[in-house]
Structures are given as structure tokens and as C-alpha cells.
Amino acid sequence: MKGCGGFSLVGIEGGRCGVYPMRCKKWSCPVCGPHKVKKTLARTRAGMALGTCRFFTLTSPGSDDAETSYAMFPERWKRFRMRVERRWGRIEYLAVVERQKRGAAHVHVVYRGPYIPQAWLSRVAAECGFGRIADIRRSNPQLMRYLAKYLTKELSDPTAAPPRYFRRVRWSRNWCVWEKRGRTVPYQDWWIVDAPAPLAAIDARRLGFVVDEVGADGSSPGFNRHWSIRWMKSLAGYRPFSPLDPDRA
């Protein structure tokens, strides 16, 4: 079984094609992990630049084991957000969920919105199933740089990774407007090729295709990422062949 990037996605349209490395997009991946950290840091900073932000951390109650704390997190977080918005109006936030030392989930939250007294936050956090809040701080430009780093510092630590399929970074719709990198992919047909992108590109050119683009390391095509995730999952038991070359199929 090849690792991340060992397979490529090839988009074909007439005699033209684009070749892209297939990425697993896991936090623990040595290629994808750092890329995701960088993206999260950029997203954090972009939203922080739009106005005064405040910062707080929610913990899991001491009675939770690690597994319970992650299982309960989405429901607690939803209840907590609803309580905040009912009382203080809409807030824009970005939240990063990490493991505490004992393995349970805690969440760092940075938000733009009104000041919320710590006593209120603490009480409502506990009522929503979280532990008591340690701290709420208002950010200034120097602190913002620090916070962006602090929010994302644990992302590159594999021992702080959440369980599989757990969404580690969450943000409100208007935290920032994110310009999607990458092109509008014009290709009609997509194939998986059993080769890293640079080799798949050579293969394609040898077969007479005009290669429009070869995706760089860390990049991936800007189409439905659920497709590639599904494909990666279904690669167990995959029989290698190049669809570009019918003789090898």
C-alpha cells in the first residue's frame, strides 16, 4: 500500500489533462499535516484582522474520560453556542479542539463580538456540560499574533490529535471570507493513476496528452474533496493500473 501522494488524480478533457497528487488530508500525515496547520493559521489570522477579538478556553469536566469528552463535544458545543447567541447576539468565531494532558477534549475559541463576563461564561459552560472556564481575554495586535500561534500550536503534535473523523477546527460562516485557492477544474473525467504526480504526468505526455498542469506537493485539485476521500478509503485491495494506457489495464 502506497502512502499519501503515491497515487495521482488525472483530469482528462479531450486531449488535455491535469495531474494532481492524491492527498489523505490527515493531521497526522507528514505531508498533509503541516499544510493543514498553515491553512488553519492563515484562516485564524484572516478573521482576527477584521476586528477586536476575544479568547477563551472550554474544558471537559473532570469526570469525563477522553472518549466520552470527544463523543459529547459536538452536542455541548452546539448548546453552548446557542446559549451565547441567545444572550449576546451573533458572534463570529474560530475554534480549535485539542487534547488536554489527560486526553480529554478542550477547545480554544477566538471570537469577534461583545464582551462576555467571565462569570456568565463559566456558569453557562457548566450548564452545557463543559468544565468551568479558565480565562477570557481581549486581544490586541501583539496578542493576536501570539493567539494565532497558540491556537494552532498543538495541531502539529500527533499526540494531541482527535479521534478519527472528528472535526478539529470549526468556524462560523462569517469568521472570514475565504478565497478558495486553485482553479475551476474543467475536466470531465477523473482517473486514479498508480504513480506519484510527476511520473503520472510523464506517462500522460508519453501517451499524447497535453499536460495543462501538474499539482505541486501539498496541493490537491479543487473539486469535491469527498470524492478523493472516498477513493482513498476504497484503495484497500486496489489493483494498480493506469487508465491512461489501455494495454496496462
Minimum distance of Zn ion from residue 4's CB (angstroms) = 3
Residue closer to Zn ion by CB (options 103, 218) is: 218
Contact mark string toward Zn ion, 82..121, x via CB under 5 A: ----------------------------------------
- Which run of H or E residues covers position 137? strand 136-138
Minimum distance of Zn ion from residue 129's CB (angstroms) = 34
Cα separation, 39 vs 198, in Å, equals 24
Residue-by-residue DSSP string for 93-118 = EEEEEEE-TTS-EEEEEEEES----H
Q: Name the region of 40 (left: φ>0; alpha: ψ -120 to 50; beta: rest).
A: alpha
Minimum distance of Zn ion from residue 24's CB (angstroms) = 4
Residue closer to Zn ion by CB (options 4, 66) is: 4
Residue closer to Zn ion by CB (options 29, 185) is: 29
Size of the site for Zn ion (CB under 5 A): 6
> What is the 8-class DSSP label of residue 139?
-
Residue closer to Zn ion by CB (options 32, 72) is: 32
- From residue 165, how far is each of 1, 70, 102, 168, 199 by CA, in Å? 21, 11, 21, 9, 31
Per-residue cell: 229: 476521500
Minimum distance of Zn ion from residue 31's CB (angstroms) = 5
Minimum distance of Zn ion from residue 225's CB (angstroms) = 13
Beta-bridge partners for 193: 8
CB contact set of 202 (below 8 Å; sequence gap of 6+): none
Is residue 89 a contact partner of residue 80, using CB atoms and an 8 Å limit? Answer: no
Sign, CA torsion 182/8/39/31: negative
Per-residue cell: 139: 486581544
Minimum distance of Zn ion from residue 64's CB (angstroms) = 30
Contact mark string toward Zn ion, 165..204, x via CB under 5 A: ----------------------------------------
Query: Of 19-38, which residues contact Zn ion (CB under 5 A)?
Result: 23-24, 29, 31-32
The alpha-helical segments, DSSP class H, found in 14-138 are 32-48, 66-88, 118-127
Q: Could you say whether residue 4 binds Zn ion (CB under 5 A)? A: yes
Residue closer to Zn ion by CB (options 34, 61) is: 34
Residue closer to Zn ion by CB (options 2, 248) is: 2
Beta-bridge partners for 136: 56
Residue closer to Zn ion by CB (options 22, 214) is: 22
Minimum distance of Zn ion from residue 169's CB (angstroms) = 17
Q: Rule CB under 5 A: which residues touch Zn ion?
A: 4, 23-24, 29, 31-32
